[in-house]
C-alpha cells in the first residue's frame, strides 16, 4: 500500500502519478467524498450528476462536487487511457446512514472493472 496525498495538484498531475504506478499487479484505489454541506435533496442531485460524469469518464471534476477532485479527475484520465469502464455500486449520503438532512456529505462507491491490469 502506498498512500499519496494529492493536495492542490491538478488532475493531469495525479493521472501521471497513477499511470506510473499502475502496473498489472497493482490496483490503484482512490477515495473521496462527494458533495459537502448541502441540503439532502440538493446533495442527491449534485452527487447523481457527479456519478454520471464519472461513469462516462468525463472530467475534470471540481471541488464542489468531489472533495478529492484532483485525484478523482486523474483517475478518470488514467482509466479512459486504459479503456476501463466504471460501474456504480452504491450512491448515498450521510443522511441515508445517520444524521439530519440540513447538511449532508455525499458518498459513492465506484469501481473501474473492465480492462483492469492493462
Q: Which domain holds residue 51?
A: 11-21+32-114
- The secondary structure of residue 83, as a DSSP letter, is T
Instruction: Kindly state the cell numbers that stand for 16.
Output: 501521471
Residues 87-114 pLDDT 10s: 888 888 777 766 666 667 777 656 544 4
pLDDT above 70 as % of the chain: 85
CB 86 within 8 A of CB 54: yes
- Residue at 6 is within a domain: no
Phi, psi (degrees; rounded to nearest 5) at 26: -120, 135
Count the domains in the chain: 1
Domain presence at residue 91? yes
Nearest to 15 by CA among 78, 69, 61, 66: 78
71: in domain: yes
pLDDT 10s digits, 60-85: 999 888 888 898 899 899 889 888 88
Asked whether residue 2 is domain-assigned, the answer is no
What's the length of the chain?
A: 118
Q: Considering the domain boundaries, does residue 4 fall inside one?
A: no
Amino acid at each position: 500500500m502506498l498512500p499519496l496525498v494529492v493536495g492542490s495538484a491538478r488532475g493531469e498531475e495525479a493521472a501521471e502519478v497513477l499511470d506510473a504506478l499502475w502496473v498489472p499487479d497493482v490496483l490503484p484505489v482512490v477515495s473521496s467524498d462527494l458533495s459537502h454541506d448541502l441540503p439532502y435533496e440538493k446533495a442527491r442531485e449534485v452527487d447523481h450528476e457527479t456519478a454520471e460524469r464519472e461513469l462516462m469518464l468525463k472530467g475534470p471534476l471540481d471541488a464542489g462536487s468531489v472533495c478529492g477532485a484532483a485525484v478523482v479527475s486523474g483517475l478518470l484520465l488514467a482509466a479512459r487511457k486504459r479503456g476501463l469502464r466504471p460501474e456504480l455500486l452504491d450512491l448515498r449520503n450521510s443522511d441515508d446512514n445517520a444524521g439530519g438532512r440540513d447538511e449532508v456529505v455525499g458518498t459513492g462507491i465506484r469501481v473501474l472493472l473492465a480492462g483492469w491490469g492493462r
